[in-house]
Structure 1
């Protein structure tokens, strides 16, 4: 007669003939076999399983459809948004200027009015700045560098508005 070995319902250990633990106890985890089996088959008292109704299925389908449509709308809306609005950080703005220049004063007022942060470099006080200003192609002042590659010679309000529009207040 062949006896099937006991397998623990909790840790899945298969009892060997050489194990020294009592017959009612799992040698690996120490739990009683009947308690482990009962724990796996426990069903809460007073709770009955109710199959989903047609109304709840319709609600779930409707909710999923709304989520999908909302996601498609968001993707479509993002594709049509201008690329400048997606960028979050204002590009660095450098202005090579002098203290006495009227156009430099207009550029300062423009930046202050629209909340644009910038770094001003006085070309009269720093010989390197004057040399760099000439290398950038600016013989006059102000020379405004927006980002790394956009250059505005003199005070040109339209060009500055075009370059800095998304970050202006």
Structure 2
């Protein structure tokens, strides 16, 4: 029968191995840029619009993105891709994918990444 010490050592080894495995699986995402640069001017309503949020009313990350911008008093245009063909076409034009897609200047940020929003907002002067 194994001793309590060897069982504890085995348990610690398994937990450590699982932790390392999880960390290594996340490592490529840490190095990945969370934005794409491009010419998104045609998607914006006019010259004054600097921030466009493409999303849905029911998406929790879309709500968080909008709340984040609201809290910072950043003017933006929200377009619902479920209820507007124009908004859905804009989403497709940016490469599609999940929502929210936040266009800030020449950056397309997919998902709720406040630190990326802040960097892009500084670049466009907000």
Q: TM-score, normalised by structure 2?
A: 0.56
Aligned residues: 78
Structure 1 position 128, deviation (Å): 2.4
Secondary structure of residue in 2 paired with 1:110: helix
Higher helix share: 2
1:157 — aligned with what? Answer: 114
Distance 1:119 1:150 in 2: 15
Rg comparison, structure with higher value: 1
Distance 1:113 1:91 in 2: 18
| TM-score (norm: length of structure 1) | 0.43
The Cα offsets for residues 31-69 of structure 1, whole Å up to 9 and x where unpaired, read as xxxxxxxxxxxxxxxxxxxxxxxxxxxxxxxxxxxxxxx
Paired residue secondary structure (2:67)? helix
Q: Which runs of 4+ in 1 moved over 4 A?
A: none
Partner of 1:128: 86
Aligned counterpart, 1:109: 67
Q: With CA pairs under 8 Å and 6+ residues apart, which has the higher RCO, 1 or 2?
A: 2
Distance, in Å, in 1 between the alignment partners of 2:121 and 2:53 is: 14
More strand by share: 2
**Partner of residue 73, structure 1:** none
- The answer as to 2:106 corresponding to 1:142 is no
Within-5 A mapping of 1:30-109: 92-109=50-67
